[in-house]
Structure 1
Amino acid sequence: MSCSHFSSFSGFSMFLAAGLLASFSHTDARADSVLIKQVQIISGDQAKVSVPKDVLIRDGKIHQIASNLSKAATKADRQIDARGQFLIPGLIDSHVHLDGVPGYAAPQAKDEAMLLQARKQMPRSYAYFGFTTVLDLTGDPAFIAKWNAEPAAPTAHFCAPVTIPNGYPAVWMGKELQFQVQGTKYMLFDPAQANVYPASFDPAMHTPQAVVTSAKKDGANCIKVFYETGFGAQKNLPVPSVALIQAVVQHAKNLKMPVYLHGNSQAAYEFALKTGVTTLVHGMWHEAKNVEQFANQQRIEQIADEITRAGISVQPTIQVLYGEQEELNPDFFQHPAVAHAIPAKLASWYQSEAGQWMRNLLAEEVAKENKSPAEMYQAIKAMYAKPLATVARMTKQLNQRGAQLLFGSDTPSGPFYTQFPGINGRWEMDRWLETGISLPQLFRALTIQNARALGLADTVGSVEVGKQADLLLLKRNPLLDVGAYDSITQVILRGKVHQRDSLSAQRIQAE
């Protein structure tokens, strides 16, 4: 997990489609071909609502789009009367961490049934909230393959995490283990730390070119690098040199692999400008964290100009800050959407003494004296006010200049149950709108722009013949109302139709 902000700041129905077959249930996922009748399509860069069209899905792809297709002529297995509904591309979240159950850190045999249920639900939770493609920014090839074998899981892609010894995040593994685990397979040889490597470490196998080539061979879509100077007990961490990351970027570009940089401070943004990375995967939360003397908050507007001119994309990831403070919200589990994301057994555990461990750690940071739950919640919101104001300001500046903003939720940024799959991305949408980003901009960032950034625009991101049938049917128009993303009726994953309700965590309790 990225532990992005926690590790850097606090120390640690109108109606269902008319004519929908009465038997259309969870078993619809077995349908080989589907004809969607008279649906209004929204897609592309200049997204607008089409006149009603018929869409034929066959063999997992969009086979035909026309004004009038018949079930008999197309020999479709299923037909959906979608009059009054909207068909859009499935949503893309390009910043997730898929392995592990958020907030669960100490496995115990008595929890295994609960954890099995949680692991089964997590892919469904992404799909329930409309996400049909996800990018794991620190993924393992074997885990990604297992994830993609699940029938109701969004298609997952992954970045290879390129690290240096004793830096973030390798330092969390320990001085010795960092050289042994699969997660450091792509560790660079850092000339500045030449004496820390074990004798078994072959520098020739860990040059920028060798590491990037290995990642590409393993199926990675992208490279992730890190600029993080530390937090809590782990401070003053080494960061890679500009020259080292410039070499990584050059080799990655030669292989058509984007380079994502973990960095949420002004210093990290300066590093991005010097190294030429493709995308910054966090908003700027800290304008004064380890910056050079000449750099201060007055540079924010100038940096926004420079980031825009350099063509570096940015993921604001604002919701993770809210998610961290929500750990102290006594009413969090009363939010109606939470029950659709988090299975009831897991939600109960989160509210138990064992499940409140991270909440209690945050509480110690917020207040040393006794306070009521409501007072604790207000105290942590006050603590997060400054970084939230900074990231909002930078996001507005970037947006006003026309910088490319890519949608990524950083789900989860750390051991936070308040950043659960799917729902965390849905709340990130609200955060974007609060900074002045428009609904059409949000729609494009969730679909075609993310697809292009990942090199997947020939496969997903728009409603076009020949593309993978990852689609959503909605009751309302998402170009006019963000609540439209709450009106999903069907989620189509690789051509298989799932009624949204079948993906809810409430449904898994009965299975």
Structure 2
Amino acid sequence: MQATKIISRFCYLIITLIFILPIFPNNKYILNNAQIITSENNFIPFLGYIEINNDIIENVQQGLYKNETQNINVINCNQKYVVPGFIDTHTHTESIPGMTSQQKLSKLNKDIVKNYYVQLPKSYLYFGYTTILDLSLGNKKGVEEFNSNIFHPQLLISGGPMAEKGGYPLHFLKSDHSFHSIDSNAKNYKTQINTAISNIISNNGVILKLYYEKGFEKNESLPNLSEKSFIYSIDQAHKNKISVIVHANSLEAYNETIELNHDGYAHGLWRWGNLNYNPKELPPEVKNILNKLITYKIAYQPTTQVMHGILSLYDHNFLEQEDVRKIIPKKLLDWLKNEKNQIVANEIKSGITKEQALEVFNKGQQALNYLAKRNAFLLFGSDTPSAAIHTNLPGYNGYLEMLNWSKAGVTNSQILKAATIDNAKFLNLDEKIGSIAKNKTANLLLLDKNPLDKIEHVNSIQKIILNGKIIARDELISNL
């Protein structure tokens, strides 16, 4: 009996190794016969090979690899396309699409919430996001929980955004533990800011997010950070080599912050006040701001899915899509389909019509088109989820963001550039990630089709290479 058990365990081990080894190959291997698309070659594909050792790219060369070394695993890519892993610089990993904080905390939804967080990292990887930035998360604990999953992208955090005391969004939050609340009227406002910057650094934050938003409709008189607080925050962040991104989406907010020496905007310019929308011509006031963005080389993160996600609330078949079923656990999907649970979605639809949402979306698209044609510094971020609505889903939201950019007239190479090397540069991480080059982290995607031909081809992922480990895409489909 004991011998039978030993033999059974041995057979199980062999079977396990057979299935695991193709996914997790030897420490060193070669991706050969690949069409490589990376910023080092201006996103022009070239036939070549990539040497990977553990989690690092050791070499990238044109031409085919000649196997002169024995006992090295050479993987024939059959001239499929290899691109850098995508980076999403605007996510909120603690939020659950379609769930309010009260619904999330309900005991009735305990298993649904648990399943979502188990699937969450895999959903981002399924669409090729090997690095994501949470602009709200302020502590290491959230990173540790996220990383407890077997498959997970690199999660970067802001270390906590900064906002004026009583301003947006602190005015609406019962708990602001992830935010740094600054009282610009206090004598010790500099001390408050220094403490916030120190906390960001101690929590391994990679960016400072400043809120500049007066609110919406009846709450449009909320206080903002004063100019002196704003400038001092930026100076202290820059002294610590931390980039600063500003939450703003209105013409007024852009006008009041454009000259203050920050590095980028976390939302597109889609609210124009009383200016009329003309699909053929931008208003001069909007052009003036966009031209300053170009001149000052300020990064622009359009987050088009914020408004397109609202438009999708009117699509009753949104949750029936095949890609959605693959990345959302069944219990959560069934829960989201129940309109009684769609509290925020119903509130939004009662406050804005589809036509109104479309006009705001089109304003953002028009501004994006203007900047793309002039080679502005574009950041790629999806704002997932932008609100507690079921149409901002992890990973998939980024894919839809790419489609929106393409429809706005952004070229496919510009989209790839924004989602890879330019995002890495903005985060001061371009020596480690963002392209396919020697000594960089081996975060790569193997695509069946050329994304430069059609942006939808970014969804033709065959394999995800994460820190040198090869993951079959099907391994990331939700089985919960």
Give TM-score, length-normalised by structure 1.
Answer: 0.83
Give, in angstroms, the shift of residue 297 of structure 1.
Answer: 4.1
1:242 maps onto 2:227 in alignment: yes
Report 1:109-508 matches (<5 A): 109-141=107-139, 142-159=141-158, 160-174=160-174, 181-184=176-179, 186-191=180-185, 205-206=191-192, 208-232=193-217, 234-288=219-273, 297-366=283-352, 380-505=353-478, 508=479
Q: Does structure 2 conserve the Cα–Cα contact (< 8 Å) formed by 1:264 and 1:286?
A: yes
Q: Find the aligned partners of 1:85 and 1:365 in 2 and give their Cα distance.
A: 47
Give, in angstroms, the shift of residue 417 of structure 1.
Answer: 1.4
Give, in angstroms, the shift of residue 70 of structure 1.
Answer: 6.6
Q: Report Cα offsets for 1:343-376 as digits up to 9, x if no partner.
A: 222111101244222232234335xxxxxxxxxx
Q: Find the aligned partners of 2:148 and 2:65 in 1 and give their Cα distance.
A: 32
User: How many matched pairs?
Assistant: 451
Q: Find the aligned partners of 2:81 and 2:300 in 1 and give their Cα distance.
A: 29
Give, in angstroms, the shift of residue 271 of structure 1.
Answer: 2.5
Q: Find the aligned partners of 1:156 and 1:71 in 2 and give their Cα distance.
A: 36
Q: Find the aligned partners of 2:31 and 2:222 in 1 and give their Cα distance.
A: 55
Q: Does structure 1 conserve the Cα–Cα contact (< 8 Å) formed by 2:57 and 2:441?
A: yes
Counterpart code for 1:413: S
Q: Find the aligned partners of 2:416 and 2:166 in 1 and give their Cα distance.
A: 39
Give, in angstroms, the shift of residue 234 of structure 1.
Answer: 3.1
Q: Report Cα offsets for 1:392-429 as digits up to 9, x if no partner.
A: 22112222332111111111101011101000000000
Q: Find the aligned partners of 2:303 and 2:169 in 1 and give their Cα distance.
A: 19
Question: Larger deviation: 243-252 or 109-118?
Answer: 109-118
Q: Find the aligned partners of 1:302 and 1:409 in 2 and give their Cα distance.
A: 25
Q: 3-state SS of the aligned residue for 1:483?
A: helix
Q: Does structure 1 conserve the Cα–Cα contact (< 8 Å) formed by 2:463 and 2:470?
A: yes
Q: Does structure 2 conserve the Cα–Cα contact (< 8 Å) formed by 1:243 and 1:275?
A: no
Q: Does structure 2 conserve the Cα–Cα contact (< 8 Å) formed by 1:35 and 1:71?
A: no
Counterpart code for 1:348: D
Q: Does structure 1 conserve the Cα–Cα contact (< 8 Å) formed by 2:267 and 2:300?
A: yes
Give, in angstroms, the shift of residue 24 of structure 1.
Answer: 5.5
Give, in angstroms, the shift of residue 73 of structure 1.
Answer: 2.4
Instruction: Provide the residue aligned with 1:80 in structure 2.
Output: 75
Counterpart code for 1:383: Q
Q: Find the aligned partners of 1:445 and 1:55 in 2 and give their Cα distance.
A: 23
Q: Find the aligned partners of 1:27 and 1:270 in 2 and give their Cα distance.
A: 54
**Residues 74, 434 of structure 1: CA spacing in aligned structure 2 closer, same or farther, 3 A cutoff?**
farther
Q: 3-state SS of the aligned residue for 1:419?
A: coil
**Residues 363, 75 of structure 1: CA spacing in aligned structure 2 closer, same or farther, 3 A cutoff?**
same
Identity rate, percent: 27
Q: Does structure 1 conserve the Cα–Cα contact (< 8 Å) formed by 2:27 and 2:54?
A: yes
**Residues 460, 289 of structure 1: CA spacing in aligned structure 2 closer, same or farther, 3 A cutoff?**
farther
Give, in angstroms, the shift of residue 123 of structure 1.
Answer: 0.8
Q: Find the aligned partners of 1:503 and 1:70 in 2 and give their Cα distance.
A: 33
Q: Find the aligned partners of 1:224 and 1:365 in 2 and give their Cα distance.
A: 28
**Residues 173, 74 of structure 1: CA spacing in aligned structure 2 closer, same or farther, 3 A cutoff?**
farther
Q: Find the aligned partners of 1:101 and 1:32 in 2 and give their Cα distance.
A: 36
Report 1:52-63 matches (<5 A): 53-63=48-58
Q: Find the aligned partners of 1:209 and 1:238 in 2 and give their Cα distance.
A: 21
Q: Does structure 1 conserve the Cα–Cα contact (< 8 Å) formed by 2:190 and 2:229?
A: no
Instruction: Provide the residue aligned with 1:5 in structure 2.
Output: none
Report 1:36-51 matches (<5 A): 36-44=31-39, 46-51=42-47
**Residues 31, 182 of structure 1: CA spacing in aligned structure 2 closer, same or farther, 3 A cutoff?**
farther
Give, in angstroms, the shift of residue 71 of structure 1.
Answer: 7.0
**Residues 276, 204 of structure 1: CA spacing in aligned structure 2 closer, same or farther, 3 A cutoff?**
closer
Give, in angstroms, the shift of residue 154 of structure 1.
Answer: 0.9
Counterpart code for 1:42: I
Q: Report Cα offsets for 1:46-91 as digits up to 9, x if no partner.
A: 111112x232322211123345557782644x54321121111000
Give, in angstroms, the shift of residue 316 of structure 1.
Answer: 0.8
Gaps of 5+ in 1: 1-21, 195-201, 291-295, 367-379
Give, in angstroms, the shift of residue 115 of structure 1.
Answer: 1.7
Q: Does structure 1 conserve the Cα–Cα contact (< 8 Å) formed by 2:138 and 2:200?
A: no
**Residues 119, 136 of structure 1: CA spacing in aligned structure 2 closer, same or farther, 3 A cutoff?**
same
**Residues 460, 204 of structure 1: CA spacing in aligned structure 2 closer, same or farther, 3 A cutoff?**
closer
Q: Find the aligned partners of 1:472 and 1:24 in 2 and give their Cα distance.
A: 20
Gaps of 5+ in 2: 1-16, 276-281
Q: Find the aligned partners of 1:182 and 1:289 in 2 and give their Cα distance.
A: 36
Q: Does structure 1 conserve the Cα–Cα contact (< 8 Å) formed by 2:345 and 2:388?
A: no
Q: Find the aligned partners of 2:437 and 2:222 in 1 and give their Cα distance.
A: 47
RMSD: 2.4
Q: 3-state SS of the aligned residue for 1:228?
A: coil
Counterpart code for 1:316: P
Q: Find the aligned partners of 1:209 and 1:289 in 2 and give their Cα distance.
A: 38
Q: Does structure 1 conserve the Cα–Cα contact (< 8 Å) formed by 2:290 and 2:371?
A: yes
- Structure 1: 4+ residue segments shifted above 6 A: none
1:101 maps onto 2:96 in alignment: yes
Counterpart code for 1:365: G
Q: Does structure 1 conserve the Cα–Cα contact (< 8 Å) formed by 2:208 and 2:237?
A: yes
Q: 3-state SS of the aligned residue for 1:182?
A: coil
Q: Does structure 2 conserve the Cα–Cα contact (< 8 Å) formed by 1:223 and 1:252?
A: yes
Q: Does structure 2 conserve the Cα–Cα contact (< 8 Å) formed by 1:223 and 1:258?
A: yes
